[in-house]
């Protein structure tokens, strides 16, 4: 029997603490959309996405009303386009991005992910074409997200791809400079990319995934922060226990929504991604949550330890609540999308080097960070290389989403609007790493990849 206290606690989570289902993401395999011509392949892609996801938005809204739960986004992830398009022999994959954009609009979703390539060990011809197409594809579309996996613990780091992605990020910034280099906000470079991640911009449906699947991403930094406010001054054991309980409840909401969506859409349920994903709204910040541990501002000493504990406790609570926890699952630390991170970066307390350290223990990486427009491609590749090493050698997912904003420098800021937020331009170490980046080849897989 449910008691009034639990009912009121639940109401407060939704009303005051910004608990929401961040996204219901439908993964759709496009394997059978490969065709000898671009036109035929694009027609198949459009038809298939619309056939499978036509009722996604409506279903999300019905579930939202039934349980009184805000469901913020309905999204689609697809098979990496470098695989789907490889049979058509085209030299430019922009038309594939455009058809994804069109299908996303028809279905009413707000992002579609999967303009992607998996190149951790090397390029196919098609991977090469896809990566070269990214700047134009992101400039020609609004709803398409792109990702490239350049490293994994199993394979090591593809340093050719790391070098090329520095150039591609610069070109993407240039191609979308009239919108503050917005294209770069939709482009992620990964190590150990999960194949079932529902969160953008890094969502795609991996080759090992089923025909169609529902993955749900949940959020709720505000709920965890509120729970911690009740145990101020208590020891870390109490803090860990408190976070676990909050994460358990949040995950159960996600599982409920995922199972109901799966049943209504007649599509199998894949995973719950239990991530603390901040938004620019006050009260929905991971940085403020870290400060609740007892830190004056995010970025000061203790931040990494607090984040490590938070990330771990969130996972432990979530694992108890659902047997199918996957995706990224942990705490996100994007800068522009988090009110507290923006404040910490603007005040100088949070620097790029500290963020890199934090990515050793968070669930993703250097995310939504604006850097000066004149940062060289080699320096961007150097930042990517370091971040990929963190992921590859620690057996975890890491990602880089950097935005070199043309014409802007330290002290300026860039406004993306909506959930993408506002980013202060952060300072970058200018000493050259060009000779390092131009070596090329692969950094071998770490010793602990040899598990067989």
Partner 1 sequence: MNSEKNTAVVTVLGRDRVGIIADVSRLLADYGININDISQTILDDIFTMVMMVDLKDVVIEESDISEKLTELGKKLGVQITIQHTGLFNAMHTI
Of the residues 253, 274, 306, 443, which one makes contact with partner 1 according to CB under 8 A: 253
Is 292 in contact with 302 (CB distance < 8 Å)?
Answer: no
Q: Which is nearer to partner 1, 6 or 32 (CB)?
A: 6
Q: Least CB distance from residue 51 to partner 1, whole Å?
A: 24
Site for partner 1 in 66-105 (CB under 8 A): 66-69
Q: Least CB distance from residue 274 to partner 1, whole Å?
A: 14
- Three-state SS for 395? coil
Q: How far are the Cα atoms of 220, 271, 369 from residue 137, in angstroms, in the given order?
A: 33, 29, 21
User: Pattern 29-68, binding to partner 1, x per CB under 8 A?
Assistant: --------------------------------xx--xxxx
Q: Which is nearer to partner 1, 16 or 211 (CB)?
A: 16
User: Which of the stretches 9-17, 96-104, 141-149, 342-350 binds partner 1 when contact is defined by CB under 8 A?
Assistant: 9-17
Task: Render 173-232 in DSSP notation, one character per residue.
Answer: HHHTGGGTSGGGGGEEEEES--TT--SSSS----TTS-SEEEEEEE--HHHHHHHHHTTT
H or E stretch including 147?
strand 144-152
Q: Does 11 bind partner 1 (CB under 8 A)?
A: yes
Longest alpha-carbon distance in the chain? 67
Of the residues 128, 259, 316, 351, which one makes contact with partner 1 according to CB under 8 A: 259
**Burial readout 25-37 (b: 16 or more C-beta within 10 A, e: otherwise):** bbbbbbeebbbee
Q: Which is nearer to partner 1, 220 or 299 (CB)?
A: 220
Q: Which is nearer to partner 1, 13 or 388 (CB)?
A: 13
C-alpha 176/C-alpha 171 separation (Å) is: 9
Which residue do the tokens 């970066």 mark? 345
- Verify cis geometry, omega within 30 degrees of 0, for the bond prior to 201: yes
Of the residues 20, 127, 209, 255, which one makes contact with partner 1 according to CB under 8 A: 255
CA dihedral 132, 138, 143, 146 (to 10 degrees): 40
Q: Of 130, 122, 123, 40, nearest to 79 (Cα)?
A: 130
Q: Which is nearer to partner 1, 19 or 53 (CB)?
A: 19
Q: Which is nearer to partner 1, 314 or 358 (CB)?
A: 314
User: Which of the stretches 2-10, 135-143, 192-200, 302-310 binds partner 1 when contact is defined by CB under 8 A?
Assistant: 2-10
Of the residues 7, 31, 410, 434, which one makes contact with partner 1 according to CB under 8 A: 7
Q: Does 337 bind partner 1 (CB under 8 A)?
A: no
Q: Which is nearer to partner 1, 66 or 448 (CB)?
A: 66
Rg over CA atoms, the chain: 21
Tell me the number of residues near partner 1 by CB under 8 A: 23
Q: Of 18, 38, 46, nearest to 85 (Cα)?
A: 38
Q: Which is nearer to partner 1, 256 or 305 (CB)?
A: 256
Quote the DSSP letter at residue 68: T
CA dihedral 402, 412, 336, 109 (to 10 degrees): -80
Q: Least CB distance from residue 6 to partner 1, whole Å?
A: 5
Q: Least CB distance from residue 82 to partner 1, whole Å?
A: 39
C-alpha 172/C-alpha 167 separation (Å) is: 9
Q: Does 249 bind partner 1 (CB under 8 A)?
A: yes
Q: Which is nearer to partner 1, 177 or 249 (CB)?
A: 249
- Three-state SS for 72? strand
User: Which of the stretches 73-81, 258-266, 363-371, 418-426 binds partner 1 when contact is defined by CB under 8 A?
Assistant: 258-266
Of the residues 2, 431, 447, 450, which one makes contact with partner 1 according to CB under 8 A: 2
Q: Which is nearer to partner 1, 161 or 227 (CB)?
A: 227
Q: Least CB distance from residue 316 to partner 1, whole Å?
A: 15
Site for partner 1 in 189-218 (CB under 8 A): none
Q: Which is nearer to partner 1, 70 or 207 (CB)?
A: 70
Quote the DSSP letter at residue 325: B
Q: Which is nearer to partner 1, 42 or 243 (CB)?
A: 243
Residue 171 CA to its chain's centroid (Å): 21
Site for partner 1 in 107-136 (CB under 8 A): none
Site for partner 1 in 379-438 (CB under 8 A): none
The half-sphere exposure of 24 on its side-chain side, counting CA atoms within 13 A, is: 34
C-alpha 398/C-alpha 147 separation (Å) is: 12
Residue 10 CA to its chain's centroid (Å): 27
Cα-Cα end-to-end distance for the chain: 49
Instruction: Give me the residues that bind partner 1 (CB under 8 A), please.
Output: 2, 4, 6-8, 10-11, 15, 61-62, 65-69, 249, 252-253, 255-256, 259-260, 263
């Amino acid at each position: 029997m449910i008691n009034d206290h639990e009912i009121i606690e639940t109401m407060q989570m939704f009303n005051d603490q910004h608990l929401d289902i961040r996204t219901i993401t439908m993964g759709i395999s496009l394997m059978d959309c490969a065709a000898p011509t671009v036109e035929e392949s694009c027609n198949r892609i459009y038809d298939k996405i619309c056939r499978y996801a036509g009722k996604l938005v409506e279903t999300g809204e019905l579930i939202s009303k039934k349980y009184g739960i805000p469901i913020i986004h309905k999204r689609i992830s697809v098979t990496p386009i470098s695989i789907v398009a490889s049979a058509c022999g085209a030299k430019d994959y922009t038309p594939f991005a455009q058809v994804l954009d069109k299908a996303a609009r028809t279905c009413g979703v707000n992002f579609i992910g999967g303009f992607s390539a998996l190149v951790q060990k090397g390029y196919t011809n098609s991977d090469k074409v896809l990566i070269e197409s990214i700047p134009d594809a992101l400039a020609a579309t609004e709803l398409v997200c792109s990702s490239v996996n350049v490293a994994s613990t199993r394979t090591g780091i593809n340093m050719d791809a790391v070098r090329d992605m520095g150039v591609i990020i610069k070109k993407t910034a240039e191609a979308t400079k009239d919108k503050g280099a917005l294209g770069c906000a939709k482009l992620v470079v990964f190590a150990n990319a999960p194949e079932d991640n529902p969160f953008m911009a890094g969502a795609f449906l991996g080759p090992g995934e089923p025909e169609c699947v529902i993955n749900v991403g949940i959020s709720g930094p505000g709920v965890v922060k509120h729970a911690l406010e009740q145990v101020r001054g208590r020891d870390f054991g109490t803090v860990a226990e408190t976070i676990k309980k909050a994460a358990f409840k949040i995950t159960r909401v996600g599982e409920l929504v995922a199972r109901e969506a799966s049943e209504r859409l007649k599509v199998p349920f894949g995973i719950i991604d239990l991530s603390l994903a901040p938004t620019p709204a006050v009260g929905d910040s991971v940085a403020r949550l870290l400060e609740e541990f007892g830190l004056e501002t995010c970025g000061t000493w203790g931040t990494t330890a607090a984040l490590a504990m938070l990330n771990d406790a969130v996972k432990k609570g979530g694992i108890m609540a659902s047997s199918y926890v996957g995706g990224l699952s942990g705490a996100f630390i994007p800068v522009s999308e988090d009110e507290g991170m923006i404040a910490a970066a603007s005040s100088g307390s949070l620097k790029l080097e500290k963020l890199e350290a934090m990515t050793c223990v968070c669930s993703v990486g250097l995310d939504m960070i604006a850097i000066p427009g004149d940062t060289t491609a080699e320096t961007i590749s150097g930042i990517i290389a370091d971040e990929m090493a963190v992921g590859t050698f620690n057996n975890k997912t890491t990602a880089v989403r950097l935005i070199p904003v043309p014409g802007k420098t330290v002290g300026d800021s860039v406004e993306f609007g909506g959930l993408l937020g506002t980013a202060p331009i952060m300072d970058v170490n200018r000493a050259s790493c060009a000779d390092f980046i131009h070596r090329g080849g692969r950094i071998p897989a770490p010793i602990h990849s040899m598990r067989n």
